Amino acid sequence: MKLRFLVLSALLALTALVVLPAAAQSPTTATVGYDGFSFSYDTTVATHIDIDPYAGDPPDAAGMAEVKHVQFTLSDSDTTPSLFDAAMGIRVYNTADFAMYPAYQQQYDTLQGLVGQQTDLTPFMTMSADLSQNTLPFVPVVAAGQAIRARAQYIETASVRGIGYITMYRQDVAPFLGNEFFYTFQGVSVDGSRYITAVVKLNTALFPAEVPADFNIETFQSTYADYVSQSIGTLNSAQPTDFTPSLDVAAAFIQSFSFNTSPAAQPTVPPVATTDPAVGSDPTLGGLAGVNWQLVSIGPNAVTIDNPITLLFSPEGIGGNSGCNSYFGQFQYDSTTLTMSFSNIGGTLIACEEPLMTQEMTYLSALQTVTGYQLQANQLLLTYPEGQIVFQPGEAPVATVPPTLEVPTSNTDPTLGGLAGVQWVLVSYGPADAPVAALPQAPVTLDFTAQGVSGSAGCNQYSGTFVYATNTLTFSPLVTTEMACADAAVTAQETAYLAALQAANLYSVDAGSLQIVYPDGLLVFGQA
């Protein structure tokens, strides 16, 4: 799963993300959160964010096996850059996962030892003929050597502690160029459950932009040790503003790292080897897929059969009905150890009557804490801390096709009646004679395309389809992520907005303004 965003204002609201209050931020600072981790950055450095959860490689994979992680890359590119090509990049790992990857575990252990003992970092900022010597910890593990290390220092905040330093990786001996350096932070959350690596790409006029035309490799190699020592001195004595971005920007970036919640310090299940019959060669995923699993009980409590709760597995993820709403998400499992976990669960927001609402929330909460599973006696048993979630096969699932966009003009109007081609930002909502101004710290956005509608509700991301005619506009049941908002006012606005959008029936576009009519008032949007 890849999430991609374009920065259009000083604050961001991202899929499965929490946008934190920004009262203390400058106008060029954005704060982003994902899966309990948040950070702030200078929006003049990058305009796009890519978020890539990576499931990880099998520990015995050939080459450099990657550990499961989430990668954030910030850039001005329309394509997704690598960690080292991005203006700023972050990877967040669960430290418990390193146990199955010796190279990563070694980097983690070294960092923990240095930080715990506050070892003098001066020896690491010296020239070594062997690039494998005097190296500082760095994840991900790469097939190259640290050619240089400078400005190494310990960094400790309320959330993380680690080491920051300037470096570059090389497989050859050549002069350093001004655009090859990067500043990195290697750290661990204060509870030890997460490892974070950050990379800030640097450019500096302290070193040439290209290798001189009269460069003599033989002479250079004979004096390489002196060259590296002089380069370290140059970097150590430089001013923060001798680099672009300034090292002060990099420092603020790292100081902003925060872990709002920490996952249980247990290893997640990496993709199992292809020898496992449940992977690749088995389209049933070990008996999980191809069955419309219907809920029988949650712990000691039977469920309401009149509104069946269902669960379907596929290589793309899970889906089903939670009694009133539809839901979706990701899962990992290992059929050899009978372990299982679910993540990134989201769903529609249709209001449910009691006791359906309570049952639905109980089920979804239990699903997110599942740790194991069994298939026995034609039942699926999911283990969670309070007991078992029991399913049995139900009727074959009916293939459903989401509502499609109806365009009366037979696609001859690329603007879709003036709705598309603009990112709309909420200005106000509520009764026409007493509008409520939208919160500036939590922008609400709305985007129309021929594929559907999407946007930020201020904290969570939503999407769906819509139907429009000359003046009428209606939306299908909207799908939204389910992250808790950090601000009660943002939560209230988000709830009101989504309910209004779901009830919409008319619209008008005039002079750069979009008005959507719903039974209780107007949604008024301006152009971003």
pLDDT 10s digits, 66-93 = 999 999 999 887 777 899 999 999 999 9
Query: 38, 292, 471, 106: which is closest to 13 by C-alpha?
Result: 38
Instruction: State the DSSP string of 50-88.
Output: EEEEE----TT-SSSPPPPEEEEEEES-SSPPPTTTSSE
pLDDT 10s digits, 375-393 = 988 899 999 988 999 999 9
Query: 491, 496, 493, 486: which is closest to 19 by C-alpha?
Result: 486
> Any bridge partners for residue 186, and if so which?
163, 197
Query: 365, 366, 339: which is closest to 268 by C-alpha?
Result: 339
Which has more confidence, 462 or 276? 462
Q: What angle do CA 155, 81, 87 make, to 5 degrees?
A: 40
End-to-end CA distance of the chain: 27
Query: Mapping DSSP to helix (H, G, I), strand (E, B) and coil, where does residue 296 land?
Result: strand
User: What's at 357, amino acid-wise?
Assistant: M
Percent of the chain with pLDDT over 90: 37
pLDDT 10s digits, 319-378 = 888 887 777 778 888 888 888 988 767 666 666 777 887 888 889 888 988 999 999 888
pLDDT 10s digits, 35-63 = 778 888 888 888 788 888 888 888 887 77
pLDDT 10s digits, 252-278 = 999 999 886 433 333 333 333 223 333
pLDDT of residue 25: 39
Radius of gyration for the alpha carbons in the chain, expressed in angstroms and rounded: 26
Work out the mean pLDDT of the chain and round it to a whole number: 81
Owner of token pair 């570059």: 168
- The answer to whether the beta carbons of residues 389 and 381 sit under 8 Å apart is yes
Query: 106, 482, 55: which is closest to 269 by C-alpha?
Result: 55
Q: Write the DSSP symbol of residue 205.
A: T
pLDDT 10s digits, 141-153 = 887 888 899 999 9
- The answer to whether the beta carbons of residues 439 and 489 sit under 8 Å apart is yes
Which has more confidence, 278 or 137? 137
Dihedrals phi, psi of 204, to nearest 5 degrees? -150, 145
Dihedrals phi, psi of 168, to nearest 5 degrees? -155, 155
pLDDT 10s digits, 94-113 = 998 998 898 999 999 999 99
The H-or-E segment that residue 111 falls in is helix 102-117
Enter the CATH code of domain 293-393.
2.40.128.270
Q: How confident is the model at residue 133 (pLDDT cuts 50, 70, 90)?
A: low
Give the dihedral sign, CA 143/85/36/373: negative
Query: What is the distance, to the nearest Å, from the Cα of residue 478 to the centroid of all Cα atoms in its chain?
Result: 21
Percent of the chain with pLDDT over 70: 83
C-alpha dihedral over 207, 213, 216, 221, to 10 degrees?
30
pLDDT 10s digits, 158-206 = 899 999 999 999 878 889 999 999 999 999 998 888 999 999 999 999 9
Q: Which CATH number fits domain 423-527: 2.60.40.1190, 3.40.50.150, 3.30.70.890, 2.40.128.270?
A: 2.40.128.270
| pLDDT of 245 above 90 | yes
How many whole angstroms separate alpha carbon 374 and alpha carbon 519?
Answer: 48
Query: Mapping DSSP to helix (H, G, I), strand (E, B) and coil, where does residue 418 land?
Result: coil
> Which tokens hold the place of 126?
């010296």
- The answer to whether the beta carbons of residues 162 and 178 sit under 8 Å apart is no
Look at strands 423-430 and 521-527 and give their pairing.
Answer: antiparallel
How many whole angstroms separate alpha carbon 346 and alpha carbon 360?
Answer: 13
Query: 12, 2, 201: which is closest to 89 by C-alpha?
Result: 201
Which has more confidence, 315 or 21? 315
pLDDT of residue 351: 63
Averaged pLDDT, 5-12? 32
CB-facing half-sphere around the CA of 294: CA atoms within 13 A: 12
Q: Where are the domains of the chain?
A: 35-259, 293-393, 423-527
pLDDT of residue 7: 36
CB contact set of 368 (below 8 Å; sequence gap of 6+): 342, 343, 345
